[in-house]
Amino acid sequence: MKKGRLIFFCGKMGAGKTTLAKSKAEEMDGVLISEDELLDKLYEGKVGSVSGYKYYSDKLKPVVVNLSQQILSKGINTVLDFPANTVRQRQWLRSISDSISANHICYYVERSDEVCINQLLKRGNPNTDTAEMFNAITQYFIVPSYDESLNIEKV
């Protein structure tokens, strides 16, 4: 049986990754799994710092790997709205598809800091959607490279 494709996204906070993820899930008839939704539902009010985000995000990952691989193995495209903003994050995402010999695509959403901050402030979550959080998170951002063995599509 043909496996589904894993779709994930790289772009600074507020770049439009979630909007694109929803669009791609619809377009590719895929299952959308959103880190923000999972964190909000499972750990409401607990993610207010970079360290808090990392702690709770790491708790989700083993479950997301297992679920994603089951979906991909059924031939269903899987759209992971998880950040792929560092080499390590991209390696983790790519390992989900690589370990079951499924294909992947990494959409790189390139936007200026100004556009990202403006979009971020419009979202309106006072705990996480701030210029301070943008600056704290963005310091770790690394543009994806083909040297990482990624199938990158820039949007």
pLDDT in tens, 119-136: 999 987 776 788 888 998
Residue 75 to residues 5, 14, 78, 131, Cα–Cα distance (Å): 8, 31, 9, 40
pTM, to two decimals: 0.91
Helix, strand, coil percentages in the chain from 3-state DSSP, rounded to 5: 50, 15, 35
Rounding to the nearest 10 degrees, give the CA dihedral for residues 85, 87, 89, 93: 110
* Mean pLDDT for the stretch of residues 102-118: 97
> Is it the case that residue 41 has pLDDT exceeding 90?
yes
What is the rounded distance in angstroms from the CA atom of residue 135 to the CA atom of residue 94?
26
Distance CA 55, CA 49 (A): 10
Torsion region of 11: left, alpha or beta (phi above 0 gives left; psi -120 to 50 gives alpha): left
pLDDT at 39: 93
Domain ranges of the chain: 6-154
Q: Angle at the Cα of 102 (from 98 to 107), degrees rounded to 5?
A: 85
Taking alpha carbons only, the member of 42, 26, 29, 32 closest to residue 9 is 32
How many whole angstroms separate alpha carbon 68 and alpha carbon 62?
10
Average pLDDT for 104-131: 90
Pick the CATH number of 6-154 from 3.30.230.10, 3.40.50.300, 3.40.50.2300, 3.30.70.100: 3.40.50.300
Whole-number pLDDT of residue 54: 87
Residues recorded for the chain: 155
Least confident of 20-24, 53-57, 62-66: 53-57
